[in-house]
Structure 1
Amino acid sequence: MMKFLLALMFMMPLCFLKYFWLMNWLFFILSFLFFMNISYSFIWMNISYFLGSDLLSYSLIFLSFWICSLMILASEKLLKTNNYSNLFLFMMINLMLALYLAFSSMNLFIFYLFFEISLIPTFILIIGWGYQPERIEAGIYLLFYTLLVSLPMMIAIFYCYEFFFSLDFYFLNKNLKNLFMYMCMNMVFLVKMPMFFIHLWLPKAHVEAPVSGSMILAGVMLKLGGYGMMRLMKLFLYVGMKINLVFIVIGVMGGVIISLICLRQSDIKSLIAYSSVAHMGLVLAGIMTLNLWGFWGSLIMMLAHGLCSSGLFCLANITYERMHSRSMYLNKGLMNILPSMTFWWFMFSISNMAAPPSLNLLGEIMLINSIISYHWWLMIFLSLISFFSAAYSLFLYSYTQHGKYFSSVYTIFLGNFREFLLLFLHWLPLNILILKCEYFLLWI
């Protein structure tokens, strides 16, 4: 694991030598090298110093490498307009380093440290390369929502050290029968996911962020919450059996309410951001059921959502670069002027509503199994979430692609090889991974 850490560190000087596309290639090469690094023991593999990975960490680190490669591919505009592209690459590598160390750390405190450090490059991405003046407010929202709940987590970590005499995940094997500790430890993950009621930072951050910021937020940052919860839920089995139902109900009811909010959004990016909250509500409910189907389904749903949501943000950005607006009232009838992009809008919209053969479908089936086995009453909310997710995905597709296009659009660029490659590299793993889905069932 240290070899990838050193590779990322030695890429830092390259950022300032104006090798924008070389950096993109290097990220892709690192992705494939990491992909080939899999071992079939599936307990803890590639252990070096305090780093290691089981299948949960492995899949999320691979997702981080992949999304970061695609972020550079999506940000060509920074290079063309000479908008501090070198600094952007430097921030990207810092962010990737933080994510890599957070996901691969076998020590709870190191995980917490890099969980928090990953906030800083994201904050700089939003503040530095966002489009509107409100980006400062969005950045502050992001920072304070996370910081407010992260300090209690530090107290909980010190308590864990006193209780277990170690912070290695391997030794955290007893039950903590303390509701206060449960809340201190998990609130930070609930904010990060984000759970309904504490989700307000997410649409704000997404709408103000540049395309790369949106991609990393939707693709990887939300997964940090799910990952932390999966790692630490075994500490709270006793408390969890008593109060997890509360969070499951908030997750699925929040999913229904957010789906209804999606149906009346006029901003394309805002709609995609709110749909993330609905999907992560399902993931939260799946983890909180504390059963195997829930954990499997949550992992698959997180990977699927990372690829699908990131692809949708890319599409929104491609449209924004041409129309200079994110409003659905102006981005109408795009089928007439961007017919080749309509195909990709369709493919990502149906993936978002969990149509076969996307990973979303597999994740959703597993989560539905898990949540209904917890309590059959929850099937009412699950059926509503499934129906409304189809409704807002079709609303997004049909509203933007059909109809009469905006009269002041008189010239438009049809799309280039880079954009189609970017969308294809989101779509391919999303729909091909279902062929080898047994891999995801081996990590426990």
Structure 2
Amino acid sequence: MMMTLLTMNLILLTLMKNKKVITVSLIILMMKTISLTTNKFFNSISMFMGMDNWSQLLMILTIMISTMMVSTMKKKQETLIFMNLLMLMLLMMMFMSMKMIWFYMMFEMSLIPMMIMIMGWGYQPERMMAGMYLLFYTMTASLPLLLTILHLYKQMNTDMFSMKYEHITSNMLNMSISMAFLVKMPMFMLHFWLPKAHVQAPIFGSMILAGILLKIGGLGLMRFSTVLENSFLSMSTVWYTLAILGSIIISMICMMQGDIKSMIAYSSITHMSMCLMSILTLTKTGFTGGLMMMISHGLCSSGMFFLSNMNYERTMSRSMYINKGMMHFMPSNSMMWFMFSCLNMGCPPSINFFSEITIMMSMMSFWKTSYMFIMIISFIVSYYSFFMFSYSQHGQFSSNYAFSNANIKEYNLMNFHLWPLILSTFMMEMY
């Protein structure tokens, strides 16, 4: 019954046009979702929709990011509000799906509003190419997933996530399933669409892409690895190795970026590679660490994109060579840059810190020597986060007498990103 109410609420929201009414309605919807009691298995089950601990947290994150996304709009734009709420509805239904084919349909359909946002409201002409990259990478990689789901249905006569397919072990089956989600996370060598999509997307597109859409890959891997455990165990070492190497290489690429938005986009790949390493251990600790990393990265990365957009709106450039000395230009904003840079490198007391500790524990249980690699990754992440803060905030601004301030709405949005990351450490039992 609760699932039906949530779905109906979302359908009604897509028909509204008043931005304030939508924001209030989304906050009420989030309070409803938080109030639902869940356990480690699906409950509140209808014929094909249910909710467990993983999906509840990701649904709360989705509503938070969507609410903040509506608030970033400068004026009332009915088409954009409709696209945002359509994507919210598709994602919520995907998180609540208990059938593989329904999961796949919502997984694919959520691409359409994202692509329209990039192509319709992007900044440069290159947005057309970025939209094509996003579409073809995801569509090509996820077609084998559809064939695999149909094969599993033929073998077992069901496609429910609550079933176990333990006798099915095949490396080809694992590759067919994993590729769709590894492109979405994305993993190193399958990541080329992400920096293009982030750089060309408008601020609300970047927020929803970093905050929610990258998490679909992690959730998909967690869902399918629980029902096809033997298949995932046989191939996890291969993906684990690629994730470690990719995380180190992408961290080094981050240090060469001259575009702030591009640097944050590459930083997303590093953090999601750490999340992937954690999930591939196929342990309870690994899944917990991966889920914590998804939630923390969703809020932290979305907040950093919002901060970079504040600079872009005032200097009309994303270049780090022009966005220097911002402490003199926007002194009120410098503290937020410092906080989000610290959160990005996993400083306590934040959920980012606890997620990295949990990931480190799960990695060492999978392969003891991996602590050396996680230390290298953590060091480089800290290095480029500190570099981004110091390079953008210190130095001389182009005009000695320029001065700008953030408005109340921007401060509220930054605080809505910041405080859940810190206060959620008091409720660790929800993970």
The interval holding the TM-score normalised by the smaller chain is: over 0.9
User: Which of the numbers 232, 239, 253 marks the counterpart of 2:231?
Assistant: 239
Alignment-derived partner of residue 46 in structure 1: 44
- Corresponding residue of 2:9: 7
1:363-394 Cα shifts (integer Å, max 9, x gaps): 11011111112112222221110000000100
Compute the RMSD of aligned alpha carbons. Answer: 1.3
Deviations 1:391-416 (A, max 9, x none): 01001100100110123x86443011
State the alpha-carbon separation in 1 of the partners of residues 44 and 30 from structure 2.
Answer: 16
Separation in 2, partners of 1:207, 1:119: 17
Cα distance in 2 between the residues matched to 1:295 and 1:40 = 17
CA distance in 1, matches of 2:20, 2:316: 25
Aligned-pair identity (%) = 41
Q: How far did residue 155 of structure 1 move? A: 0.5
The equivalent of 2:321 in structure 1 is: 329
Contact 2:43/2:52 (8 A) holds in 1:
yes
Match of 1:143 in 2: 135
User: Quick one: structure 1 residues 40 and 224, their matched pair in 2 at CA, closer, same or farther if it must change by over 3 Å?
Assistant: closer
- Report the counterpart of residue 58 of structure 1 in structure 2: 56
Report the AA paired with residue 318 of structure 1.
Answer: M
Q: Which segments of 5 or more consecutive residues in structure 2 lack a partner in the other structure?
A: none
Contact preservation (8 Å) 2:173, 2:231: no
CA deviation string 1:20-59 (max 9, x = no partner)? 22222222222222222x2154432222332110000110
CA distance in 2 between partners of 1:27 and 1:412 (Å) = 35
2:159 alignment partner in structure 1: 167
Matched, 1:214 2:213: no
1:24 counterpart letter in structure 2:
T
* Residues 1:130 and 1:146: Cα distance change in structure 2 (over 3 Å): same
Partner of 1:52: helix, strand, or coil?
Answer: coil
Question: Structure 1 residue runs of 4+, over 4 Å off?
Answer: 409-412
Letter in 1 for 2:329: I
Structure 2 match to 1:422:
413
Equivalent residue for 1:301?
293
The question of 1:200 aligning with 2:189 is answered no
- Could you tell me which residue of structure 2 aligns to residue 21 of structure 1? 20
Give 1:157's aligned residue. 149
Counterpart amino acid of 2:22? Answer: M
Q: Which of 358, 376, 383 is matched with 1:384 structurally?
A: 376
Q: Report the CA distance between 1:238 and its aligned residue.
A: 2.4
Other structure's SS at 2:50 match: strand
The gaps in structure 1 that reach 5 residues or longer are: none
Aligned-pair CA distance for 1:264: 1.2
Say whether the 8 Å CA contact 2:122–2:201 is kept in structure 1. Answer: yes
Does the 8 Å contact 1:164/1:171 carry over to 2? no
CA distance in 2 between partners of 1:236 and 1:169 (Å): 10
Q: Distance in 2 between matches of 1:329 and 1:256?
A: 25
For the residues of structure 2 that align with 1:199 and 1:410, how far apart are their CA atoms?
41
Secondary structure in 1 matching 2:44: strand
Alignment partner of 1:102: what SS?
A: helix
Cα distance change, pair 107–385 in 1 and its aligned pair in 2 (3 A):
same
Write the mapping of 1:72-91 to structure 2, written as runs, cut at 5 A.
72-76=70-74, 79=75, 85-91=77-83
8 Å CA contact 2:39–2:53 kept in 1: the answer is: no
- Structure 2 equivalent of residue 400 of structure 1: 392
TM-score by length of 2: 0.97
Q: Contact 1:268–1:328 (CA<8 Å) still a contact in 2? A: yes
1:272 to 260, 264, 268: 264
Using a 3 Å threshold, how does the CA distance of structure 1 residues 22 and 401 change in structure 2: closer, same or farther? Answer: same
> What is the DSSP-based 3-state SS (H/G/I as helix, E as strand, rest coil) of the residue aligned with 2:397?
coil
- Give the secondary-structure state (helix, strand or coil) at the position aligned to 1:171: coil
- Report the residue type matching 1:182 in the other structure: N
Name the CA distance, whole Å, in 2 between partners of 1:87 and 1:411. Answer: 36
1:174–1:318 Cα change, 3 Å? same
**Structure 1 counterpart of 2:346, which letter?**
A
CA contact (8 A) 1:153 1:188 kept: yes
CA pair 100-32 structure 1, distance change in 2 beyond 3 A:
same
Are the equivalent residues in 2 in contact too, given 1:218–1:309 (CA < 8 A)?
yes
Q: Map of 1:110-121 to 2, 5 A cutoff?
A: 110-121=102-113
Change (3 A) 1:46 1:155: same
Equivalent positions of 1:92-103 (< 5 A) are 92-103=84-95
1-side partners of 2:49 and 2:387: how far apart?
A: 44
1:242, CA displacement in angstroms?
Answer: 2.9
Is 1:369 paired with 2:361? yes
Q: Residue 175 of structure 1 contacts residue 235 of structure 1 at CA under 8 Å; is this kept in 2?
A: no
Q: 1:292, 1:31 → 2: CA distance?
A: 27
Following TM superposition, by how much is the alpha carbon of 1:195 offset from its aligned partner in structure 2, in angstroms? 0.4
**Aligned length in residues:** 429
Distance 1:281 1:397 in 2: 23
Report SS of the residue matched to 1:14: coil
Deviation at 1:429, TM superposition (A): 0.7
Change (3 A) 1:40 1:195: closer
Counterpart Cα distance in 2 of 1:173 and 1:58: 25
